[in-house]
A and B are shown apart, each in its own frame.
Chain A
Amino acid sequence: MAVTQHHNESMADHPDSGRNNRIIDVIGLGKDFDQNGQRLAVLSDVDFHAADGEFVSIIGPSGCGKSTLLNIIAGLSDQTVGTLRLRGEDAVNRLGTVGYMQQKDLLLPWRSVLDNAILGLEIQGVSKREARDRASALMDQFGLDGFEHEYPSALSGGMRQRAAFLRTVLADQQMFLLDEPFGALDALNRAQIHEWLLGLWERLKKTIVMVTHDVDEAIFLSDRVYVMSSRPGTMTLVMDVDLPRPRYLEMVTSDAFVTLKAQLLAAIRKERAS
């Protein structure tokens, strides 16, 4: 069982998808925007969930409402209809509890790399000294050793992205939303950062929801991949990725990986055609 039509709920028999284990649970969610007096449905009847410690990806074309969905989960905006539960509770005041890393690194140019990393801790009221100590301890793991006191403008694209990720990790929220975090990186940097990210995720034991348009990236990293259609955005496919962990770069050429990719691509193509 790999590819299922979403609406027949056949994924309910997955061992990790018991309702009480769901840290993020989105049920029948919809979002309308007003555009020149007309109602524009951006999201419609979205069902989506992530269990504690899971890595879940959402694939979809540009403008399908992926970012809108992340904005709602993060608390930056609210849904028009439907339910959003975080840790099993209706999440009213969720802003600040969900880590959100956007495509742009959004490092503040007037802060050193170290002081950018501690932004979340500072806002939480941790003293600057302690925050800096905690960040310094992680610099090496994030490949930023020796760059603590540099301004972001001195960093390469990959390093800036890792610094932004360090800022997200240090804020110590239980779940992270990543919106096409590696879109700006070249293929070599991407492959490297994928392996690194998986290592980190396994240590942190956090829940990660990642939006991407890269099928390989989604399969390689995730426990489960959602496919989203556009206008209005809704989940059209769910695929469990049962590749063993830990995962290595070499796996992308393995039979199991290629089979999953073929299934996913075929399903996406079929979806586009209909």
Chain B
Amino acid sequence: MSVVKQTPAHRTTTGPTWGASLTATGIRWLPAIVIVVGVIGFWEAYVRIFDVQKWLLPAPSIIAKTIGVDAGLLWGHTLATMEEIVVGFTLALVFGVALAAAIALSRTVERALYPFVIASQTVPIIVIAPMLLIWVGYGLAPKVIVVALICFFPIVVNMVDGLKSVDSDVVALMRTLGANRWRIFLKVQIPTSLPFLFSGLRIAIAFSVIGAVIGEWVGSSEGLGYLMIRSKPQFLTERVFAAIVILSAMGVTLFALVGIVEKFALPWWHREHGSEI
């Protein structure tokens, strides 16, 4: 054995201590925190100084109070919206990945279906949503379909791009090792596509919140979107804002959740590229 022995030394050189990494996280988020605190402070001051009516623009402190007082009511509607998002997103994930696989595996399927995938995105959801009410009824179904329609597109497009981004030299290597088309798909194309898929999932999950609200606006009896549409004519503006705050928090949380799942699912990707969330 003439090859010089090396030991995995990088384990000790990378990976800062816990304390240092917490401090680093704090510094990373500092700009965001400063901006949020600044905006809220300015808003609060503006409303108080100019004595703006709360039905016109409620102060952050009043919105916070509303969230506290109406917690039970808001929580119920939050769960309803969350259900629509989770079911719709899951449907889009399952069908999106399946369709992307079919498109990547078959030229015929690609030519036949890809134009329709793109065309589906040009149909205004706001027009489709009321039609869905007529077609599938008044319950959970129309909202789930709107969410799924919105999530579907970024998932399919990203996954197809990922499945096609395989290095042709790697395909050649697999063939010389005796792999057939299907093996190459499973062992090379799918893993290559996963980082792309997760990019699509991040976009999809952020859009899904909008999808749920649109679905509820068109016709529903529960959910944060429904609560907003009902509270506005009653001049309960602080409740509208409370719903917006919760929807935003929901969006950020879901987005972060996708990032966390990705970190566990693709540890190799994060080792190479690093990532904020």
- CB contacts under 8 Å to A, within B251-277, are 266, 268-269, 271-272
> Which chain A residues lie closer than 8 Å to B178 at the CB level?
95-97, 120, 123-124, 171
Q: Does B177 contact A (CB under 8 A)?
A: yes
Flag whether A154 is at the interface (Cβ < 8 A). yes
Q: Are B177 and A193 in contact (CB under 8 A)?
A: no
Query: CB < 8 Å: which of A74, A75, A147, A192 contacts B3?
Result: A192
Asked whether any CB of chain B lies closer than 8 Å to the CB of A128, the reply is: no
| Cβ-based interface call for B183 (8 A) | yes
Q: Is the interface of B mostly helix, strand, loop or mixed?
A: helix
Nearest Cβ distance between residue B260 and chain A, in whole angstroms?
A: 18
The answer to whether B271 touches A123 (Cβ under 8 A) is: no
B162 → A minimal CB distance (Å) = 13
Interface size class of A (residues with CB under 8 A): 35 or more
> A159 to chain B: which residues have CB within 8 Å?
6
- Alpha-carbon gap, A171 to B169, bound state (A): 18
The residues of B that contact A97 with a CB separation of less than 8 Å are 178
B3, A193: Cβ atoms closer than 8 Å? yes
| Complex contact A100–B183 (CB within 8 A) | no
Inter-subunit contact A171/B3 (CB<8 Å)? no
Q: Is the CB of B5 within 8 A of A123?
A: no
Q: Are A106 and B176 also in contact (CB < 8 A) when A143-B1, A193-B3 are?
A: no
Question: Does the CB pair B268–A109 fall under 8 Å?
Answer: yes
Complex Cα distance, B170 from A100, in Å, reads: 11
Q: List the B side residues contacting A48 at CB < 8 Å.
A: none
Cross-chain contact B271 with A75 (CB below 8 angstroms): no
At the interface, yes or no: B167 with Cβ under 8 Å from chain A? yes
Query: Taking the complex as formed, is A102 at the interface, i.e. its CB lies under 8 A from any CB of chain B?
Result: yes
Give complex CA distance A124, B183 in Å: 11
Which 3 interchain pairs have the tightest Cβ spacing? A96-B178, A143-B3, A100-B176
**Interfacial residues, chain B to chain A (CB-CB below 8 A):** 1-8, 10, 167, 169-170, 172-179, 183, 187-188, 191, 194, 266, 268-269, 271-272
Q: List 7 A-B contacts (CB under 8 A).
A: A76-B172, A76-B175, A110-B269, A123-B178, A154-B10, A193-B3, A196-B1
Listed in ascending order, the chain A residues whose CB lies under 8 Å from chain B are: 71, 74-76, 95-100, 102, 104, 106, 108-111, 119-120, 122-124, 140-143, 145-147, 150-151, 153-154, 156, 159, 162, 171, 192-193, 195-196, 199
Knowing that A123-B183, A162-B3 touch, tell me 18 more A-B residue pairs with CB under 8 angstroms. Answer: A71-B172, A96-B176, A96-B178, A100-B176, A102-B169, A106-B170, A108-B170, A110-B269, A123-B177, A123-B178, A123-B179, A143-B3, A151-B272, A192-B2, A192-B3, A193-B3, A195-B2, A196-B1
